[in-house]
A and B are shown apart, each in its own frame.
Chain A
Amino acid sequence: MSQTAEHEASNETSEHVREIGHDEFDPIGTLTLIGIYFLILVFLWFFMYFVEFLGNDPTVVSGTLVFLATGARSA
C-alpha cells in the first residue's frame, strides 16, 4: 500500500494540468510573497529600534550626532 502511495505522490504528471513555458510564466505570486517578506523585514527593522534603544541603554551613540543634538538645543 505504501508503495502505491509512494508512486502516486512522486509522479509529478498525475496532477499536471498545463504546460507553462519560459515566456508565458509571470511569477507575480513570487513578487507578492517576496514583497510581504520585505515588509516584514522593514517592520522588524523599525521594531528593533524599540528593543535596542528603549529597552536598554544605548549601546553605540555617535559622538557627532550627540554634538549636533546638543548644539541644536543650545542654538
Chain B
Amino acid sequence: MTNTYIESFPAEAKVVRAAFYSSFLALAIGGLFGIIQTLHRTGYYRFMDSADYYTVLTAHGVLLAITFTIFFLVGVFTWATTTSLDRPVEDIRFTWAWYGLMVVGTVLTAIPIFAGFTDSEMSASVLFTFYAPLQGHPLFYFGLVLFVVGTWLAGVDWFRSWWAWKQEHPDKRIPLPTFMVLTTTLMWYIATLGVAAAILLFLLPWSLGLVESVNPLLTRTLFWFFGHPVVYFWLMPAYMMWYVMLPKISGGKLFSDPLARVVFVLFLILSVPTGIHHQYLDPGIAEGFKFIAMTNTMFLLLPSLLTAFTVVASMEHGARQRGGTGYLGWLKALPWRDPVFAGMALAGLMFAAAGFSGMINAGMNINYLVHNTFWVVGHFHLTVGTAVALTFMAVTYWFLPQVTGKALWNRSVALGQVVLWFVGMTFMSNAMHRGGLLGIPRRTAEPQYDGFEFEAAVGSVGELDAQIALGGALLTLSLVLFFANVVGTALNSRSDDLPANEYADTLSGPSDAPLVLDNLKLWTAIAIVLVIFAYSFPLLSIIERGGLFGPELTELPVHIGLGLEYLWATTISTVTTASETVVALGAEVNW
C-alpha cells in the first residue's frame, strides 16, 4: 500500500494521464518545429522554403503556447481539486467529455495548420496571434472555439467538485490548491470572453464569407484582452506547483497560506485589464488608455514579487530544517540532486530574469525600443518557455509515478534534462534579448538584408546566431531526454514503493487568512469592474472610428432597428465625449 494518486483516484488518474500525454505529444511536435526554426532563422540549416517558416512558426506557437500548456494544466488542476478536496470528480463521464472536446478542438485546429505544408487550398499560417487581415481556414477558428469550450467545461467540473464539497463542509476554508484552481478558472472565464468575441462575432464569420471585412484593430484588441491573461493561465499552475509542491520537496512547509491566497486574488483581479500593453505601438488607441494599461501592468508585478518572497522563504524553511545555516549557506542544504526540486528552482531563477525583461516590455516608452524585436521572443522563452515549461517538466517526474503507479525510469537522466534545459535557454534567450536590442525583428524567416547590417556594440550577429543555434540544440537534446524518461516510465512495471500523494503543509495556515479572501463573488465582481474601466472606452472608440466590421460600417447589415440605432449613436457620442475627457486627463497625468 503506497497511497499514490492512482490508488486513491484510479478513474481520475486515467484522465490526468491522458491530459499529460496529450500535452507531451504537443510538446514533442512543437519542440521539433522549434529547432527547425532556430536553424532556419540563424541560417545554419535551411531545408525548406522560407514561406513555410510561417507555417512552422504557427504550429510551434499554437502547439506549445496553447496545447502543451493547457492540456498539462487541466491535468494538474484535476489532480489539485480531487486531492485537496479528497473526493472524486462528480461524474467521470463529464470529465472525459471535456477532455474529448479539447482533443477534437486541437485536431481540428491542427488540420488547417498542417495543410499549410501541402499544395491544398486549406491553410492557417496565421501565427499564434491570428491577427486580421491574416485569414485562416474556418476550421482553425472552429477548432479553437471547441478547445476553449472544453476548458470552460473543465472549469465547471472543478466548480462542481467544490460546490459538492461545500455542502458537506459548510464551515471549512477552501483548501489552498482548490482555491488556486477556482481563482485561476474565474480569471480564465473573463479572459476568454475576448477571444470568443473575436472569433465568433468577427473572424469565423469573415473566414466563412458571411461578412466581407473586419476591423483589424478591434479583433487585435479582443485578442490581447485574452492574450495577456492567457500567460497567467499558464503561469498559475506553475505557481501552484511552487507553492504546494516545492516547499515539501525542499523539506519544509509553505511560509504563508494567506499570502498565497492574496497572490491568486490579485491575479484574478489584475490579469485581464492589462492586455493593451501589447499594443503600445498600435495606432488608433489613445495614449491615455495605454497609460491605464501600463499602470495595471506595474501593479501586476506585485503578486509576482510576493510569490518570489513566499516561495524562497518556504525553500529556506526546508533548507534550515535540513540543517542549512548562514545568510546564503542554507542554499547548499537544498536537495539539488532531486530533479523535481532542481527543475522548479532553476525555472524560478529564470523567471526572476524574465521579471526584468518584462518590466522593460511593460514600460510604455522603453517598449518602443524592443517592440516586435527578437527581445520579446527572448522574454517569453524565459516565461512560458522556462518558468512554465521547465516547472511542468520537473513536476512530471513527481506526477508520472502518481498517475501511472510506476517508478520513474531514471532520475539521473531527469536531473541532466532539467539542467540542460536551463543551460540551453540561457544561451538562446540571452542572445535573443541582445539581438532585439540591435533591432533584429521577430517573426522573420530570413532576418538579413542587402546593404544593411545590424551593428552590435559587443559581440556580433554571427556570435548571437551561434548562441541561438547552440541553445536550440541543447533544448532539443533536453526534450529527447525528457521523452526518454516519459516512455521509459510508461514501460516500467507497477511498483508498490512510491511516495504518497501529498502536498505541502503550511507554517501559517488558512485560519490566519481573513475570510474575505475566500469570497470569490466579490473578487470576480471587482475583476469585472476593472475590465470595464480598462476596456469599455478603448473598445467603443475603436468601434466608433473604424466600425464594427471595418471602415464601411453603414454598408454592412448591422441595423437592428431605428430605435436601437438611435440609442447606439447616442451612447457612442456620450462615451466619446467621456473618453476624450479621460484621454485629456491621461495626457495630463502622462505629462
Contacts and interface: CB of A to CB of B under 8 A. Distances in A.
Given A3-B407, A9-B335, A59-B369, A33 B312 contact: yes
B309 A30 contact: yes
A11 interface: yes
Interface in B397-454: 398, 401, 407-411, 437
A29 B251 contact: no
Contact of B322 (A7, A15, A21, A51): A15
Instruction: Give the 4 A-B residue pairs with the shortest CB-CB distance, closest first.
Output: A60-B365, A10-B499, A3-B407, A27-B313
Interface of A: 2-7, 9-12, 15-22, 25, 27-30, 32-34, 37, 40-41, 44, 48, 51-52, 55-56, 59-60, 62, 64
B469 interface: no
A28 B321 contact: no
Given A2-B408, A29-B327, A7 B369 contact: no
Nearest to B320: A20
- Contact count band on B: 35 or more
B572 interface: no
B327 A6 contact: no
Contacts of A55: 437, 457
A16 B251 contact: yes
A51 B255 CA distance: 39
Nearest to B355: A41
Interface in B339-377: 340, 352, 355-356, 359-360, 365-366, 368-369
Nearest to A44: B356
A60 B290 CA distance: 15
Contact of B437 (A15, A37, A51, A64): A51
A5 B411 contact: yes
Among B321, B323, B368, find the residue whose CB has the most chain A CB atoms closer than 10 A. Answer: B321
Contact of B591 (A5, A10, A64): A64
Interface string B261-296: 000000000000000000000000000000000000
A19 B382 CA distance: 35
Nearest to B248: A12
Contacts of A48: 360, 366
A34 B312 contact: yes
B107 interface: no
5 contacts: A6-B401, A6-B499, A29-B326, A60-B365, A60-B368
